């Protein structure tokens, strides 16, 4: 099947095929139309949608029952169902790394400071129209 025979993405046929796959892969035409909220009569749905998808072999029609084919699922990008695999082995015990002392010098090395680096502390902050002087080591608790 050539690519020009397939419905364009987001066309009415493509949207209908996606909807049919989302409701289980098979449905009667009136149910499928209701899911799509199709406003025209059934003949207006069968021509541009059902017949086009059937010609492209993306669905199979038996009476009023439409079913998505393997080619239709491939066109939608749905992977093929793989054969069931043997269950995986259960996970082993958790890995707990050995305890090592924390090297503070490695994590918090001394930082170089300029001679004027702490002058901001001499300027009081303005909080709610009040000047608040710098207070080192203030701990805020939610208790």
Task: Return per-residue pLDDT of the chain as tens, 143 residues.
Answer: 556 678 888 888 888 888 988 888 888 988 988 888 888 888 888 888 888 888 888 889 998 889 998 888 888 888 877 666 788 888 889 999 999 888 777 777 667 777 787 788 888 888 888 998 887 765 555 54
Q: Is domain 12-76 annotated with CATH 1.20.1250.20?
A: no
The predicted model scores a pTM of 0.53
Q: Give the start-to-end residue ranges of the domains of the chain.
A: 12-76
Residue (of 6, 4, 3) closest to 69 by Cα position: 6
| C-alpha to C-alpha distance for 40 and 80, rounded to whole angstroms | 34
Beta carbons of 39 and 33 less than 8 angstroms apart: no
């Amino acid at each position: 099947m050539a690519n020009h025979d397939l419905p364009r993405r987001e066309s009415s046929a493509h949207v209908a095929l996606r909807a049919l796959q989302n409701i289980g892969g098979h449905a009667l035409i009136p149910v499928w139309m209701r899911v799509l909220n199709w406003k025209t009569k059934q003949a207006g749905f069968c021509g541009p949608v059902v017949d086009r998808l059937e010609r492209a072999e993306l669905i199979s029609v038996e009476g009023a029952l439409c079913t998505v084919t393997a080619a239709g699922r491939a066109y939608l990008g749905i992977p093929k169902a793989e054969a069931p695999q043997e269950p995986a082995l259960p996970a082993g015990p958790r890995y707990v790394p050995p305890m090592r002392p924390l090297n503070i010098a490695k994590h918090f090395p001394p930082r170089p400071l300029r001679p004027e680096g702490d002058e901001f502390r001499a300027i009081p902050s303005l909080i709610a129209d009040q000047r608040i002087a710098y207070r080192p080591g203030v701990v805020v608790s939610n208790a």
